[in-house]
Amino acid sequence: MAAAALCPAARAFEHITLRTGFSIDCVRHEPLDATHTRLYMAGDGNYQDLRSADIVGIELLPDPPAAVSVKSAVELALEAPSGATLTAAELHVLLAAAGAAHNIDEDLLASVIRTESGGNAHAISRTGARGLMQLMPETAQQLGVKDPNKPDQNINGGTAYLDALLKRYKDDVVLALAAYNAGPGAVDKYHGVPPFRETRAYVTRVINDFNRRKKASLASIAAAVPPR
């Protein structure tokens, strides 16, 4: 996979709306051939190729406001003890780092966390899933997560798992989210989103929250641009 389905909006200059209802923020786009378009992401060599027919809208974004130093937030986030409650700034630092490492939109990760745990690093599900991204013990072990209650380890592990699912389902975010909730075995068995009420509600909640975050982000960027 050349790049994941989504990229961090903070470094983007174009907002691409897809036929599926999802959107991608990127630096620029260029026609690749008669039927495909290449989206160039932030970072050297990062790009994603899409069918041109899947793109329904392209919006130019204003330059983002100057970056604010987050050194103190980085230090606090990495030093956070197991099960600690993170501030919004600390969570942003961890999500931005994990998203950049796997080319996954930070807002998508935030939406998964909101749906999985409500941002509670102490959360434990009835099936034993733990932490912000609700990792099952076996999954956490496979991902090298030693302490799933520690925010940075949980986020890194959950993001790596979501990245693996996106690759498995060829950047189909809906199927990847369904597999994150119900397991890839269920998605493969039903050749799509399983007919489980919980899984379908889960996918809907994540997507709705993600779209809300993107709209708020665009509104915030627009508000930061002085009127001409």
- Cβ atoms 39, 24 nearer than 8 A: yes
Element (H, E) at 153: helix 151-168
3-state secondary structure 200-224: HHHHHHHHHHHHHHHHHHHHHHHHH
Domain boundaries, the chain: 9-60, 71-217
Q: What's the whole-model pTM score?
A: 0.64
Q: In 3-state terms, what secondary structure has residue 1?
A: coil
Higher pLDDT, 54 or 113: 113
> What is the pLDDT confidence band of residue 168, given thresholds at 50, 70 and 90?
very high
38: CB partners within 8 A, 6+ apart? 29, 30, 31, 32, 47, 48, 49, 50
pLDDT in tens, 12-62: 477 788 777 777 777 788 898 889 998 887 655 677 788 899 888 888 765
Positions marked active-site: 116
Instruction: Give the pLDDT score at 90.
Output: 86
- Cβ atoms 128, 136 nearer than 8 A: yes
pLDDT in tens, 120-167: 988 999 889 999 999 999 999 999 999 999 999 999 999 999 999 999
Using alpha carbons, select from 177, 183, 149 the residue that is nearest to residue 163: 177
In the predicted structure, residue 69 carries a pLDDT above the cut 50: no
For the chain, the straight-line distance linking the first and the last C-alpha, in angstroms and rounded, comes to 41
CA 64 to chain CA centroid, Å, is 20
In Å, how far are 118, 123, 132, 220 from 113, measured between CA atoms?
6, 11, 6, 22
In Å, how far are 118, 127, 149 from 124, measured between CA atoms?
11, 8, 9
Instruction: Give the pLDDT score at 85.
Output: 65
In the predicted structure, residue 72 carries a pLDDT above the cut 50: no
Domain 71-217: which CATH class? mainly alpha
Using alpha carbons, select from 54, 61, 57 the residue that is nearest to residue 27: 61
Radius of gyration of the chain (CA): 18
> What is the pLDDT confidence band of residue 225, given thresholds at 50, 70 and 90?
low
Instruction: Give the pLDDT score at 44.
Output: 53
* Residue that the structure tokens 């989504």 belong to: 6
State the sign of the Cα–Cα–Cα–Cα dihedral 183, 189, 194, 198.
Answer: negative
Q: Residue 124 pairs with which residues in a beta bridge?
A: 130
Options 3.30.1490, 2.30.30, 2.30.29, 2.40.50; CATH for 9-60 is 2.30.30
